[in-house]
Amino acid sequence: MTQSCTCKNPECNKPFGVVDQEEKFLAKKELPLPDYCPRCRHKKRMALRNERELYKRPCDNCNNSMLSTTPESAPYKIYCQKCFWENIG
Ligand SMILES: [Zn+2]
Ligand SMILES: [Zn+2]
């Protein structure tokens, strides 16, 4: 059986189905049925990823671990707040 839901994004408002497998998974995790259709969920996730994903990485100057929006694999140096201000002037 497939649950049918309606996407809560007013710009979309499309009906979508939640398959048994997904419903069971959500129930097991005590999560509610999704509010948004898979397309909108995917979009939201992408938007979040682009704006806010934080990486734990060491500062390239003092090696203290910090959170940065730039991954450790970035080809340029990333400083922590403190080193950034010390190096800027
Ligand atoms: Zn939608
Ligand atoms: Zn530092």
* Ligand 2 midpoint to CA 60 (Å): 7
CA of 13 to the centre of ligand 1 (A): 6
Ligand nearest to the CA of 62: 2
Residue 76 above 90 pLDDT? no
Please give the structure tokens belonging to residue 1. Answer: 């059986």
Does position 51 have pLDDT exceeding 80, yes or no? Answer: no
Q: What is the pLDDT of residue 46?
A: 78
Domain ranges (residues) in the chain: 3-51, 54-88
Can you give the pTM of this predicted structure? 0.48
The SS3 assignment for 6 reads strand
Please give the pLDDT value at position 61: 93
Across 27-36, average pLDDT:
92
Neighbours of 40 (CB within 10 A): 19
